[in-house]
Structure 1
Amino acid sequence: MKKYSDMYRDELFQNVLPFWMKHSKDEECGGYFTCLDRQGNVFDTDKFMWLQGRQIWMFSMLYNNVEKRQEWLDMAEHGARFLQQYGRDSQGNWYFSLNREGKPLVQPYNIFSDCFAALGFGALSKASANNSYAEIARSTFENILKRSSNTKGQYNKIYPGTRDLKNFALPMILSNLSQEIEDTLDRSVVDGLVKEIVHEVMDIFYRPDLGVILENVYPDGSFCDSFEGRVVNPGHNLEAIWFLLDIAVRQNDEMLIQRLVKIALDVIEYGWDKQYGGIFYFMDVKGAPVQQLEWDQKLWWVHVEALVCMAKAYQLTGDNRCKEWFERLHEYTWKHFRDEQYGEWFGYLNRRGEVLLELKGGKWKGCFHVPRGLYQLWQTLNAEVKVEKKEIITT
């Protein structure tokens, strides 16, 4: 597997990061452009807070973990200054989007803006001597926990009491966020939160009878036979599993590692398009018609996160099934998503694997999943497989 390590490292530093360094920085108004076409031209100047926070994190993380390059720190602080000045309302909630100059466009209805602001400022606090960055990360994280039971607050359009559902997205993100910014938080808070997150994912959202992690369940973890309750997002499953694999390694929990790898193998088999290849975006766990019209598209982040998951699973267990899936995913993603001519990766393919949109960034795609995945793969694939193949538990 080491043969792939240099490929992913070179892709990160020679093809992907240069694209964002060259095209995304708004020198006039601050922050980053994310709506970039294939060549890197800006086609819209709106700024989305979760993509701004993610890009701050990306360059801060590289500065902290790879090399103290001043250009990376400058890039991160460029975005941070914009967010500090314009990103929050008077209660400290992060807006969803701003116009180019920093005036609010969409209210802070989405807690994920807060999650990625905390992620970005937490990483930047390690790289910079500016103490305000750590305080922003802490206060934002505290606000996330306060809002966690009702993430949309006054903007929630669901009528209460009829079909109250828990959503998988927040515990999934917190499983990674709590580890990323633990240096700025109280250790006991992080330990307690991680324990609760593992419980939620493995005992509430994961259904052994179905073999997948559901996107929505009733608060007690029971199944909701509805559009919302039946939906499965294989990409979310696989991304969450590698987050939890990192937690299991930190806790030296071999049993959890084995359980997670079994789920990963079940999910990738379930989500793989047997006819055209690639992973479906959405599925219905009962095989009913899926309500998301984009259900059969093949998305960049789904495949990048699946690659990371299978690489980590193989590195930790030596199970050849994980290696085989990694190689199949590698062949598919490098053939269909990578843009050798202009840099970066395409984001959206149709079911047959043909490019639907030539954009490199937009409202949802920014400087995050591709470079983070390339970094994780470079690091993971550069390590020896730690153990010989073990029998994956089946209960």
Structure 2
Amino acid sequence: MNIFEYQEIYRANLLDSVVPFWVNNSEDKEYGGFFTCLDEKGEVYDTDKFMWLQCRQIWTLSMLYNQVEKKQEWLDMAIRGAEFVKNNGRDAEGNWYFSLTREGKPITQPYNIFSDCFAAMGFAQLYTATKNEEYKAIALNTFYNILKKRNDSKGIYNKQVPGTRPLQSFSLPMILCNLVLELEHILKPELVEETIQLGIHSVMDVFYKPEFGLILENVAPDGSFVDSFEGRLVNPGHAIESMWFIMDLASRAGDKQLIKKAVDITIDTIEYGWDRQHGGIFYFLDVKGNPPQQLEWDQKLWWVHIEAVISLLKGYYFTGDERCWQWFEKIHAYIWKHFVDDRNGEWFGYLNRRGEVLLPAKGGKWKGCFHIPRGLYQGWKVLQAIEEKRSVLHR
């Protein structure tokens, strides 16, 4: 298959299948916000509203409006969603709840800082589309709150006994590498640079362990390895996703060495995480080869595979490394064989190890309108950039 054909596949799947699935089925026209618990055909099977998924959908709709087409339907839906979460989604201190009832009453306390991360991201993208200063203020205040809490993100909701086995988690430093670029247009330049440098250091020097050739999910406060379930945990999807964040930051700085390192880590992680028996990338692994604690360790998840597509295409665009293209074609083939639903639209999210659909739902508590549309958009546009680069080289 040539690059033009791949471009068309990603564009068409985004605009003709995935986006219509959410636009047609997810909006709660009675109470506001979005339903994310949608079955195979898009029917609502649960009405709870999860703040991080609400804000992710606000981001997606706003991004499509800003980057693809000034389609009023997308922007209006994003604004209606934003008004619902603005009015219901935060506690008195401005922390974002994890979940609400359909009507907007809080169910789960703001224990999860990723609700805040995606609120900042969603409102910043919506500000770009609307120039509504209130949305800008919400994005900024939320971002500053994240920075205040980043060393103790769970606060009073932390279940761990202090001091026994302190750990720092990869998730937040990783997401800040992307979040800071999402908010760059509304942040002070010095804060942007400080956050970028800290993010790169955390990802590439603290959580990446050359002795394993892999990124760990949890390390000690001083960055050292902790030989426990949590300390041995590898999440290939997180590591792969973080590498395209790093590539974007390295490209911004013109740091070719850092780009190459990110490409190498991407390839090493995919080769480590690939299921040689059944295909696909494992969800969790133990860095020492022990049985992982997570019983779902061998499932194949939608977001892991679409994030791999982004990192591989960016890696190929930036470096021309043929390993990236070879792995892209292999993972693309796996995705279109197992995840994509040509009949009802969107993708299945959860496969068993053999690649069979484990849960037919298209959305839930953890899967919403975000990874797939973002990845399809990125894939489409990076493939275009690869073709343009080739055209210039062959003139």
Asked whether the two chains share a fold, i.e. TM above 0.5, the reply is yes
Tell me the residue number matched to 1:173.
175
CA distance in 2, matches of 1:331, 1:20: 24
Query: Cα RMSD between the aligned structures?
Result: 1.0
Whole-Å separation in 2 of the counterparts to 1:326 and 1:354: 21
8 Å CA contact 1:318, 1:387 repeated in 2: no
Q: How does 1:63-82 map to 2 (within 5 A)?
A: 63-82=65-84
Could you say what secondary structure the match of 2:114 adopts?
A: helix
Alpha carbons 1:315, 1:386 under 8 Å: kept = no
1:221 deviates by 1.1
Which of 180, 197, 208 in structure 2 is aligned with 1:195? 197
Counterpart of 1:392 in structure 2 is none
Partners of 1:46 and 1:98 within 8 A in 2? yes
Say which of 287, 290, 296 aligns to 2:289.
287
Per-residue deviation, 1:3 = 2.8
Match of 1:265 in 2: 267
Q: What amino acid is aligned across from residue 45 of structure 1 in structure 2?
A: T
| Aligned equivalents of 1:154, 1:356: Cα separation in 2 | 35
- Asked if the contact 1:20/1:367 (under 8 Å) is kept, the reply is yes
Structure 1: runs of 5 or more not aligned? 389-395
The structural deviation recorded for 1:260 is 0.8
Question: Is 2:315 the counterpart of 1:313?
Answer: yes
Q: Distance in 2 between matches of 1:130 and 1:264?
A: 38
Distance 2:143 2:228 in 1: 32
Measure how far apart 1:242 and its partner are: 0.5
The answer to whether structure 1 residue 163 and structure 2 residue 153 are counterparts is no
Q: Is the 8 A contact 1:23 1:40 kept in 2?
A: yes
Q: Distance in 1 between matches of 2:236 and 2:178?
A: 18
Percent identity between the aligned chains?
62
**Per-residue deviation at 1:162?**
1.2
SS at match of 2:104: coil
Q: How many residues get paired?
A: 388
Shift of 1:75: 1.1
Q: SS at the partner of 1:43?
A: strand
The letter for the 2-side match of 1:141 is F
Cα distance, 1:386–1:39 mapped onto 2, change above 3 Å: closer
Whole-Å Cα distance in 2 between the matches of residues 384 and 308 of structure 1? 13
Supply the distance in 1 between the matched residues of 2:64 and 2:376 (Cα, whole angstroms): 12
Matched to 2:201, the amino acid is H
Q: TM-score, normalised by structure 1?
A: 0.97
Report the CA distance between 1:387 and its aligned residue.
7.8
Q: Deviations over 1:301-342 (max 9, x none)?
A: 000001111111111111111100000000000100000000
In the TM superposition, structure 1's runs of 4+ consecutive aligned residues that sit over 4 Å from their partners are 385-388
Question: Which letter maps to 1:120?
Answer: G
Corresponding residue SS for 1:149: coil
Deviation of 1:367 after TM superposition, in Å, equals 0.1
Residue aligning to 1:393: none
Of residues 306-315 and 28-37 in structure 1, the stretch that sits farther from structure 2 once superposed is 306-315
Paired residue secondary structure (2:385): coil
Specify the alignment match of 1:225 in structure 2.
Answer: 227
Q: TM-score, normalised by structure 2?
A: 0.97
**Separation of aligned partners in 2, 1:3 and 1:314:** 17
Which of these residues, 147, 153, 156, is aligned with residue 154 of structure 1?
156
